[in-house]
A = this chain, B = another copy of it.
Amino acid sequence: MFNFEFYAPTRVVFGRGVESRTGRLLKELGVSRVLIHYGGGSVVRSGLLDRVAASLDEAGVAHTQLGGVVPNPRLPKIREGTELAMQFGAELILAVGGGSVIDSSKAIAYALADPDHDVWDLYCGKRKAAGCFPVACVLTIAAAGSEMSNSSVITNEETGEKRGYRDNQCRLKFAVMNPELTVTLPAYQTAAGCTDIMMHTLERYFTQGGNMELTDRIAEGLLRTVMKNALILRDDPANYDARAEVMWASSLSHNDLTGLGADGMDFVPHGLEHELGGMFDVTHGAGLAAVWPSWARYVYKDCLPRFVQFAVNVMGIAPKNTDKETALAGIAALEEFFRSIHMPVTLKELGVEPTEAQILAMAASFARNAGGKKGTAKVMREADMAAVYRMAL
């Protein structure tokens, strides 16, 4: 087992009706002025925003609001939020939404702590954050895991770049998680969320080892639990217990627990998807499903013991004649699972048909941003990245 650090300080308040406690949770933190940040109209139409605002009013917490965050959240909205938060004197950014809203709130919180520098510098690797204002959330989508992760991902429309930045300073103060709030999600978003959740663990699973047994048992249990409940939700979207399992899995899959003791994290599928997201604005989880099978078939020989373990322990494959056959059967089984929840497993199914020039541009951008190479399952360079895009067509 390799040395590791684990730091997941977010207070999780989980279950039916817990959003009514938001105001009191803020009060306990000593916070009196808040920017409520949200996305589209669904949190308005559902009445959630009003309920959260009422909870803040009741606790005597002053608030202003900014909506309009879009999937693959953009820089201009972050600059607008930063400006508004400064004018209002907000002491904390309260994200009401899913990963895009939380990531956007984290970016605003970084910007507030260092108003003299451009926050985009963090995302393109120019510098580390000098600080971060407190962030909390009322979660409405189980997917990104941003509610417990140290990660945020922002898109710069001007350059077409989608970039992530990881820093423990942005870990949320609290996450209010009511699975009931996810019941009305469209089936496609639910399935894409389950894919994203699984991928956060898969990105940590395919390494060159480290003998992490407890970590592996947790990872495998999480993957099996998400698959089981994704199928339940496909057929019964209102199933509370299934919503709850998936929502809790979203947090544990990306708070680092499922990769501790390994020799790093892969995150090549995420990188491949980030380029797609930056260029074509696809749904993140669907983009991941569309590239994963091709990535897996491209790299599995270089990470054979882990792909065999995955096939047996996660996909329930009985060992075949050779390790390669077992590994390939595991990949095919996950691909089949993605199909069964109506996720795309090729770029074409995703609705994206990049030209060769676009493939080369995405591979070049990915490689440049990664410093030339990335990956633990297999070290991938620009040509490898392009090859996977072509396989995924």
Contacts and interface: CB of A to CB of B under 8 A. Distances in A.
Interface string A198-232: 00000000000001011101101110110011000
A106 to B, nearest CB: 18
A225 B221 contact: no
Given A217-B222, A222-B217, A244-B261, A5 B11 contact: yes
Copies per complex of this chain: 2
A183 interface: no
Contact of A213 (B7, B179, B225): B225
A248 B11 contact: no
Contact of A1 (B13, B215, B217, B241): B241
A13 B241 CA distance: 34
A261 B18 CA distance: 14
A238 to B, nearest CB: 15
A217 B213 contact: no
Contacts of A4: 12, 14-15
Nearest to A253: B214
Contact of A15 (B2, B17, B222): B2
A2 B244 CA distance: 9
Contacts of A16: 3
A217 B222 CA distance: 7
B1 A245 contact: yes
A41 interface: no
Given A217-B221, A260-B248, A7 B12 contact: yes
Nearest to A222: B214
A9 interface: yes
A197 to B, nearest CB: 11
A249 interface: yes
Contacts of A252: 214
B6 A14 contact: yes
Contact of A5 (B1, B13, B17, B213): B13
Interface string A230-257: 0000000000110011001100100000
B1 A7 contact: no
Interface in A1-34: 1-9, 11-18
A247 to B, nearest CB: 10
Contacts of A260: 14, 248
A173 to B, nearest CB: 10
Interface string A37-71: 00000000000000000000000000000000000
A229 B216 CA distance: 14
Contacts of A213: 225, 228-229, 241, 245
Nearest to A248: B214
Interface of A: 1-9, 11-18, 179, 211, 213-215, 217-218, 220-222, 224-225, 228-229, 240-241, 244-245, 248-249, 252, 260-261
